[in-house]
A = this chain, B = another copy of it.
Amino acid sequence: MRRSVFLISDRTGITAEAVGRSLLTQFEHVDFMLRTLPFIDTPEKADAAVAQIDAIAERDGLRPLLFSTLIDPDIRKIVSRSKGLLLDPFDAFIGILETELQTPSTHTIGRSHGMGNEASYKERIDAVNYALSHDDGATTDHYTSADVILVGVSRSGKTPTCLYLALQFGLHAANYPITEDDLVDTNLPKVLQPHRQHLFGLTIEPRRLHQIRTERRPDSRYADLRQCEREIHAVEAMYRRERIPYLDASHMSVEEIGTTILHRIGRERRLRSG
């Protein structure tokens, strides 16, 4: 029997999804069926959500789980009258915070993304443009304004990581591919030498690199397992010799790689995370 789950938000639903999914992964023997209901920001939409939840409760003969992040207490009240089990961090914590801070809350939707956020919106767009124009060593101009320059062999995950760092944190993230020519000795390519303090290396298990490259160019020398092993061996030697911090991204999500790098380079998080 599948248990139905609704992820409900007055905004994008990203936070409700993150909270709900993390909690549900703790019940791995239960089969869940998830639906996201974003932008539930009027009583009418809340009524429609309740009707949908109640219909599923009726069909399943079991109450659906509702993970929500609903700021407006009136909307929350409507949803709480459904046949689902409401789990909402606002509901759980806002009263505790009001007591602790000795002030009522404002119950305002959308503060975190309103007009006040335009500066950081612009900062992110600038960061995306920076990442795009400094992708794959396309240009090494403006490296002095880089927050981080990712290095690594082809297909080790540099591009998506740079884009994530730009979109999520507004960082100026460039990336530079370490090619076979760079690996004849283990010295740092000349163009990177003045920017040593901003370099961060990515590495990856040779077998995983081989898989990724094979999808791109099957049966090529580029994708050959031995070739992947040689490049990874050489690039890791370079990182160690040059004391470049690095991580193995083989089994990490883009979020984890990005956040780990941010943490390791000791940058404060600049921007709101939605």
Interfacial residues, chain A to chain B (CB-CB below 8 A): 3, 11-15, 17-19, 21-23, 25-30, 36, 38-39, 63, 65, 69, 71, 85, 87, 89-90, 92-94, 96-97, 100-101, 103, 105-108, 111-115, 117-118, 121-122, 124-125, 128-129, 132, 135, 157, 159-160, 163-164, 167-168, 212, 215, 251-256, 258-260, 263, 269, 272-274
Contact = CB atoms under 8 A, between A and B. Distances in A.
A39 B163 contact: no
B112 A12 contact: no
Number of copies: 2
B21 A273 contact: yes
A246 to B, nearest CB: 16
A89 B167 contact: no
Pairs A-B, 10 closest by C-beta atoms? A25-B111, A12-B259, A26-B105, A15-B18, A255-B274, A113-B253, A92-B92, A17-B273, A128-B160, A87-B93
Contacts of A125: 157, 160
A14 B22 CA distance: 12
A30 B101 contact: yes
A232 to B, nearest CB: 18
B163 A128 contact: yes
Given A17-B269, A111-B28, A89 B23 contact: yes
A164 to B, nearest CB: 6
Pick from A63, A94, A101 the residue with the most CB of B within 10 Å.
A101
A23 B18 CA distance: 15
A2 to B, nearest CB: 12
Contact of A103 (B15, B30, B65): B30
A115 B14 contact: no
A159 B135 CA distance: 15
A93 B23 contact: yes
A103 B26 CA distance: 10
Contact of A100 (B85, B90, B124): B85
Contact of A18 (B14, B97, B263): B14
Nearest to A12: B259
